[in-house]
């Protein structure tokens, strides 16, 4: 009888080890971080799903090849430290793109390694929509599209979003010079 109990104990230990190792493997497989995509070449077009909105002008997209951090081309959103404007810009972007399939057109890579890109849902230019809503400014240093400037002028005239109140939220790049976001 005692040899039977020893054998049973031995098998129990083997099964317990197997279950623990299987659980660890399953956990790693299920929750493993996705590989980060190296910045694709300028001119590349990708179809991806937005997995996270970082702030009013940056997202993380889940692409077939891995995740990709995107900085929207041609716009500048208030920083998250510019309360409540940064949070409002982020919410506006989230309302447009969260969990949506988007077309990404890579235009450049910024100094932080993010892919600077135009983003489209169906045929809608996401950056232009944010400008029209008044949550971001045109980044004139990098963008000379007349439709963006016209949309910003219209948002200002109608006092949409950041244009509803005068302040630093209207010049995020100038605010960044004096604050380290």
Active site residues: 71, 79, 114
Half-sphere exposure of 149 (CA within 13 A, CB side): 7
Nearest-5° Cα angle at 168, 164 to 169:
55
> Contact 115/126 with Cβ under 8 angstroms?
no
Do strands 66-72 and 115-121 pair parallel, antiparallel, or not at all (unpaired)?
parallel
Point out which residues pair with 53 in neighbouring strands: 59
> Contact 66/83 with Cβ under 8 angstroms?
no
Nearest to 61 by CA among 43, 88, 39: 39
């Amino acid at each position: 009888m005692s040899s039977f109990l020893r054998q049973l104990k031995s098998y129990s230990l083997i099964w317990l080890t197997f279950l623990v190792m299987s659980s660890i493997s399953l956990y790693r497989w299920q929750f493993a971080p996705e590989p980060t995509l190296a910045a694709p070449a300028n001119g590349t077009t990708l179809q991806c799903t937005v997995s996270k909105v970082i702030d009013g002008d940056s997202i993380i997209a889940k692409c077939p090849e891995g995740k990709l951090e995107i900085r929207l081309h041609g716009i500048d959103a208030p920083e998250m430290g510019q309360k409540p404007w940064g949070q409002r810009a982020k919410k506006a972007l989230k309302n447009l793109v969260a969990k949506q399939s988007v077309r990404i057109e890579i235009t450049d890579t910024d100094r932080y390694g993010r892919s600077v890109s135009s983003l489209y849902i169906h045929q809608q230019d996401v950056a232009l929509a944010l400008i029209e809503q008044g949550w971001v400014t045109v980044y004139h240093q990098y963008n000379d599209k007349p439709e963006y400037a016209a949309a910003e002028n219209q948002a200002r005239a109608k006092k949409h979003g950041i244009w509803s109140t005068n302040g630093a939220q209207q010049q995020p790049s100038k605010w960044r010079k004096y604050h380290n976001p």
